[in-house]
Amino acid sequence: MADDSKTTDVGARYAQALFDLAKDGDSITAIEADLKTLKAMLAESADLRRLLPSPIFKSDVKGKVLLALADAGAFNATTKKFLGFLSQNQRVAALPSIITSFEQLSAAHRGVVTADVVTAVKMTAAQTKAVAAALQKALGKAPEIETRIDPSILGGIKVRVGSRLFDASLRSKLDSLKFALKRA
């Protein structure tokens, strides 16, 4: 099994450096928008997800791909330079970790918390609003909600805020029931 702690650590350090640059250049919002666009591109393209960590492709090829995507997305100049820097230092594989860490830094800077909400089916707007209201009441801060769909949880909801996980999924309830029955 691969050790993800080093990748995460590298991602956090690069994200902090990019955040400091964005803060100095007063471009946090623009760079965060660029990274969200890049995150969406990664989610949509299996080829791009395979390219980044692949040792088969040289770093200059990866850099050209990222810069082409940056040009197509009309990214901020700082974002483009940063992507080139990642490619030059052979750290393109850490990009997903960098994006996640940057989003957390930006949210903390704005005074909001990021909540990763996982459901078995797509939530309606009213359900999303209700989850946001409940999280704001529980956390005392306005949450930014990122939703994902994972049919394997069968039903219910899982909410991750920072290192805390609130798990009210049917899968976890069935697993705990199964465990209790095995113990009896």
Examine the domain organization and report whether 119 and 69 are in the same domain: no
Residue 130: CB atoms within 10 A of its CB come to 12
Q: Which of 78, 108, 138 is the last residue of a domain?
A: 108
Examine the domain organization and report whether 81 and 129 are in the same domain: no
Examine the domain organization and report whether 62 and 139 are in the same domain: no
Amino acid at 23: K
Instruction: Give which of 5, 12, 8, 4 is closest to 101, Cα–Cα.
Output: 12
pLDDT at 121: 92
Cα(16)–Cα(166) distance, integer angstroms: 27
The total number of structural domains in the chain stands at 2
pLDDT at 3: 46
Q: How far is CA 182 from the centre of its chain?
A: 37
pLDDT at 20: 93
The DSSP secondary-structure symbol of 152 reads: G
pLDDT at 1: 41
pTM of the predicted protein model: 0.69
Q: Hey, what are 63's tokens?
A: 């850099």
What's 168's domain CATH number? Answer: 3.40.30
pLDDT at 4: 47
Examine the domain organization and report whether 24 and 98 are in the same domain: yes
Q: Say if CB 106 and CB 113 are below 8 A apart.
A: no
Examine the domain organization and report whether 116 and 97 are in the same domain: no
Beta bridge partners of 166: 159
Q: Which of 108, 136, 154 is the last residue of a domain?
A: 108
Residue-range definition of the domain harbouring residue 161: 112-183
CA atoms within 13 Å, Cβ hemisphere of 117: 23
Q: How confident is the model at residue 34 (pLDDT cuts 50, 70, 90)?
A: very high
